[in-house]
A and B are shown apart, each in its own frame.
Chain A
Amino acid sequence: MLKAHQGAEVDIIDRLPTPFGLVRSGVAPDHPETKIVTNQFSRVPQNERCSFFGNVSIGSSVSLSELREMYHVVVLAYGAESDRILGIPGEDLAGTHSAREFVWWYNGHPDCRNLAPDLKSTDTAVILGQGNVALDVARILLRPTMELATTDISSHALGALEESRIRKVYLVGRRGPVQAACTAKELREVLGIKDLYIHIQEADLLKTPTDEEELKNSRIQRRVYELLSKAAVSGHSHPSSGQRELHFVFFRKPDRFIDSDDRSGHIAGVRVEKTMLKESAGAGKQIAVGTGQFEDLECGLVLKSIGYKSIPVDGLPFDHHKGIVPNARGRVLSNTSDLTQLEEGLYVCGWLKRGPTGIIATNLYCAEETIASINEDIEKGVLASTSNMPKPGREGLLQLLETIHRTENYCSKDERIVLFGDGHHEMTRKEHIQYLKQWMTSEERLKNLNKLSDLAVKHYNEKSNSKYEFVKFVKATVLPHRGFLYHITFEAKEKDAVDGQSITFQAKVYDGRKLWDTEPDRFLDSDDRSGHVADVLFEKTMLKVTPTLCGKAN
C-alpha cells in the first residue's frame, strides 16, 4: 500500500504488543530461516508514513465501525485464531489440546503461556491430522531437547519438554499417504530426527488407479509419497529399547475420546474408525468414509491438528460455513448471497480472506490482489477520498485509544461508571466512551489545554530565564493519574523576536487534585496539583542537548 500510493498513510494495529503474527507464534522455533522474513516486515514501519500500534484489539479496544469512520480504507488481516472442532464425544477431556494452543505455548504466545500440557503422566501422544502443523508439533515433541535448547523456543516449553516422558507419537490421518497434506520439507525433517524409529504400514502405501492419477497431477504429493515409501522400507523393523517412535497411522478417523478409568475426566485414548477412500462427486478428490471397524489408540495426550478457524468481529460479514469473510478479490461483500454488494472501504487479506492454508509467500500474492482491488477502487472513485471526505486517521485513532483508556482505567467491562469529578451521574461504559469522545472535541477542553500550555510557557521562562509567549495549542495526550497527566504540544514564540517565528514545545502538566488519600503520591508532595508543570521540552534543542529541565528525557 505504501509503495502503491505515495500519499497513503498506513497504521498497523495488532492485539498483541508485538507484530509478525504466526511468523512469530506459529512458525516453529527450530525454523529460524523461515523467520528471517521478519527483517523485511521490520522495514515497513520504518517508512515515515507507517506506524505500528500494538496492544490494540479490533472488536474490543476499537470497533470495526469506529475504524471505518476514522480511515478511508480498512484492511482486515487478523488471521484465524480459533480451531475447527471434531464434534465427537470427549473432545473436552483434560489432556486434549488444539495444535494451535500447543504451538502458541511453545512459541510463547501470551494467550497460551499457562497452557501447561501434561507431558509427564504419559509416554504416548496422539496427533490428529497430518499436515505441516501436525508435523511441527510431532517434531517438537520428539526432537532431542539439546537441539531445541539453541532455538528461541519459550523457556517454559523447553523446561517442560526436557522433563517430558513422551516417547511415542501417533500421527493420525483420515486418508492415505497419497493424500497426506504436508510438504516434503516438513516431512523430510521429521523423518530425519536423530535416533527416531519410524513406523509406516507398508500395506497403506498401495495405490489405486485414482491415487496414481492424483500423484500424476501433483508434484508435491508425488514427492511426499516418495519420501513416505522410502521411510517405510528403510530402518529397523522394531524400535530399540527406549528409542523414540513416530507412527504414521493412515486411513483412520477419530470416533470418540476415551475417558480414563482411574483419572476420570482425563483422556486415556482415542477410538478411531478405519476408513476407505471414495471418489466424491464433483470435487474431483477422494474422501474418507468409515468402514465400521474400530480400534483404540491408548494415549495420555491428544493434540488436534485439524485446522484453524477465523472468528468474526462485530459488524463484519462472515461466511460461517467456510470460516472466512466473503470477498471478491479482497473486497468485502455485504452478504454471501449477493456477490455484487460491497462494503465500502473494507478489505480482507491473509487467512481471514482465504481460510487457514498456505505459506507465508501465499499471503504475498494474496496481499497483491487486495492492494490491486483497493487501487482500482481509488481510481474508479468508489472510495471516499481525502479531498471529498477527510478522515482523522491516526490522530483519530490515538484520541480514541486515549478515551478508551480513560474509561478502562477505572471501570471493568460491564460495570456502570460513576462520572469522574461529578460523583453521582452514572453511565455505562459505552455511554462513557461516547461522552469522552464529545469531551475530547469540546471547546471547554481546548480552553483548559490553552490555559495549561500558557502555564507551561511561564514555567519554562522562569526556569530558563527566557521570554516566550504562548501562541497556540497543537495537541495533547492524557494519562489519568489521580487527576490527569497531560503531555501537551504547543507553539510559542519569543516575545521580542523580530521574525516572530513560533517554535514547538512539549510539556508535561498535571491537572487535578489528589483524590485518593490512601495512595502515596509518587509525583508530588502537594495535594493541589492543578496546573503543576513538571517538565517542558523545547523541541529544537531536544535532540542536541538535554536541558536540565527535562530530567529523564533524552
Chain B
Amino acid sequence: MFITKFSRLGAHVIKGLRRGQLTSTPGTAYSSVFNNHSLQPLKHQFFSATAGDKSQEGEDEANKKISVTFVDKDGEEKQIKVPIGMSMLEAAHENDIELEGACEGSLACSTCHVIVMDMEYYNKLEDPTDEENDMLDLAFGLTDTSRLGCQVIAKPELDGIHLALPAATRNFAVDGYKPKPH
C-alpha cells in the first residue's frame, strides 16, 4: 500500500498518495513505523487499570453512575454520567470532552490535568500519590485542587463533582476566580 519508489528517491511517504502512483512492494521501512504502534482505543486500557475496588462491592453499586460536570475552556458546562470505577479521563473521552491523555493513563504526563472546583469534593478524594504529585508539578495552571483525570475514579461520594479543564482557569482568573486554599 505504501510507496517504495520513495525509498529510492530518498523520501518515504506515509500516505495520502494512494491515487496516482504505481505501488509495488508494500511495507517500506517507514510504513512499519506507524503500523507497529497499533492504536488501541484509549478506553480498553484505563478501565481495567484503574477500576476501583468499590465496584466489587455489589452488582447495584457497580451499575450505578454518578453525575460529573466538566467545565471547558470557555466556561461551558457539560454534565455526564460516569459509572462507578471509571476514571475521569476515560469518562471524558467517552463523552467527547477535550481532555488530553497523552500517556493514556500511565502516570507519565500531566495532560489530563483537571481542577476540582469545590474543596469539599477535593477532600473526598484520596491524597495524590508521590507519582501523581510528580506529574502535577509540571501541570499547566496548577492549583491547590488540581488532580490528574486518570487518577480520579468515580465513586458514589463524588456524585455532583465539577471538574474544570485547566484552560478554563485562565478565564476564571480573569473573572476573579481564586482556587480555594487547603
A40 touches B138 (CB 8 A): no
Which A residues touch B5, using CB under 8 A? 477, 479, 487
A55 touches B12 (CB 8 A): yes
A500 to chain B, nearest CB (A): 21
Which A residues touch B134, using CB under 8 A? 183-185, 188, 223
Which A residues touch B110, using CB under 8 A? 359, 361
Which A residues touch B9, using CB under 8 A? 401-402, 405, 477, 479
A405 touches B16 (CB 8 A): no
B119 to chain A, nearest CB (A): 18
Contact of A120 with B by CB under 8 A: no
Bound CA–CA A301/B59 (angstroms): 62
Bound CA–CA A19/B102 (angstroms): 16
B20 touches A489 (CB 8 A): yes
Q: Given A223-B134, A402-B9, A405-B11, 18 more contacts at CB 8 Å? A: A17-B12, A31-B108, A33-B107, A34-B109, A42-B34, A42-B37, A49-B16, A53-B13, A54-B11, A54-B12, A183-B138, A220-B137, A360-B109, A365-B140, A404-B10, A489-B19, A489-B22, A506-B20
A553 touches B22 (CB 8 A): yes
Bound CA–CA A61/B142 (angstroms): 43
Interface residues as binary, B1-33 with A (CB distance below 8 Å gives 1, 0 otherwise): 000011011111111110111111110011001
Spell out B's residues near A (CB within 8 Å). Answer: 5-6, 8-17, 19-26, 29-30, 33-34, 37, 39-40, 100, 102-104, 106-111, 130-131, 133-135, 137-138, 140, 142
Contact of A408 with B by CB under 8 A: yes
A103 to chain B, nearest CB (A): 18
- Minimal Cβ-Cβ distance residue in A for B109: A361
- Minimal Cβ-Cβ distance residue in B for A534: B22
A185 touches B131 (CB 8 A): yes
B15 touches A51 (CB 8 A): yes
Bound CA–CA A34/B17 (angstroms): 31
B22 touches A537 (CB 8 A): yes
For the complex of A and B, the 10 pairs showing the least CB-CB separation, nearest first, are A33-B108, A51-B16, A185-B134, A52-B14, A489-B20, A33-B106, A37-B102, A506-B22, A487-B22, A54-B12
A36 touches B11 (CB 8 A): no
A201 to chain B, nearest CB (A): 25
Which A residues touch B142, using CB under 8 A? 219
Which A residues touch B11, using CB under 8 A? 53-56, 61, 401, 405
- Would you mind naming 15 contact pairs between A and B with Cβ atoms under 8 Å apart? A37-B102, A42-B37, A42-B39, A50-B16, A55-B10, A56-B11, A184-B130, A188-B134, A223-B137, A364-B102, A487-B21, A487-B22, A488-B22, A489-B22, A507-B22
- Minimal Cβ-Cβ distance residue in A for B40: A39
- Minimal Cβ-Cβ distance residue in B for A19: B33
Contact of A422 with B by CB under 8 A: no
A480 to chain B, nearest CB (A): 9
A residues 446-478 in Cβ contact with B at 8 Å: 474-475, 477
Contact of A394 with B by CB under 8 A: yes
B103 touches A36 (CB 8 A): yes
Which B residues touch A401, using CB under 8 A? 9-11
Bound CA–CA A300/B37 (angstroms): 40
Q: What is the number of contacts between chain A and chain B, taking CB atoms within 8 Å?
A: 146
Which B residues touch A136, using CB under 8 A? none
A residues 532-549 in Cβ contact with B at 8 Å: 535, 537, 539
Spell out A's residues near B (CB within 8 Å). Answer: 17-19, 31, 33-34, 36-40, 42-43, 45-46, 48-56, 61, 183-185, 188, 219-220, 223, 359-362, 364-365, 394, 398, 401-402, 404-405, 408, 474-475, 477, 479, 487-489, 504, 506-508, 535, 537, 539, 552-554
Q: If the complex has contacts A360-B109, A489-B21, are A37 and B103 also in contact, measured as CB distance less than 8 A?
A: yes
- Minimal Cβ-Cβ distance residue in B for A33: B108
Residue of A36, A38, A53, A506 contacting most chain B CB atoms (<10 Å): A36
Bound CA–CA A537/B23 (angstroms): 9
Which A residues touch B25, using CB under 8 A? 552
B133 touches A184 (CB 8 A): yes
Partner of A54, one of B30, B37, B102, B106: B30
Which A residues touch B33, using CB under 8 A? 18-19
Bound CA–CA A524/B26 (angstroms): 23
Partner of A552, one of B24, B39, B137: B24
Partner of B14, one of A51, A183, A398: A51
A39 touches B138 (CB 8 A): no
- Minimal Cβ-Cβ distance residue in B for A43: B39
Bound CA–CA A97/B100 (angstroms): 37
Which A residues touch B6, using CB under 8 A? 55
B111 touches A45 (CB 8 A): no
Q: If the complex has contacts A188-B134, A401-B11, A554-B26, are A36 and B39 also in contact, measured as CB distance less than 8 A?
A: no
B13 touches A51 (CB 8 A): yes
- Minimal Cβ-Cβ distance residue in A for B20: A489
Bound CA–CA A38/B39 (angstroms): 10
Q: If the complex has contacts A19-B33, A51-B13, A489-B20, are A220 and B109 also in contact, measured as CB distance less than 8 A?
A: no
Q: If the complex has contacts A17-B29, A553-B24, are A52 and B108 also in contact, measured as CB distance less than 8 A?
A: no
A548 to chain B, nearest CB (A): 15
A39 touches B37 (CB 8 A): yes
Bound CA–CA A542/B130 (angstroms): 56
B37 touches A61 (CB 8 A): no
B137 touches A184 (CB 8 A): yes
Bound CA–CA A554/B29 (angstroms): 18
Bound CA–CA A191/B33 (angstroms): 34
- Minimal Cβ-Cβ distance residue in A for B98: A3
Q: If the complex has contacts A55-B10, A55-B11, A507-B22, are A45 and B16 also in contact, measured as CB distance less than 8 A?
A: yes
B106 touches A36 (CB 8 A): yes
Bound CA–CA A507/B108 (angstroms): 49
A100 to chain B, nearest CB (A): 22
Which B residues touch A539, using CB under 8 A? 19
Which A residues touch B22, using CB under 8 A? 487-489, 506-508, 535, 537, 553
Bound CA–CA A188/B30 (angstroms): 36
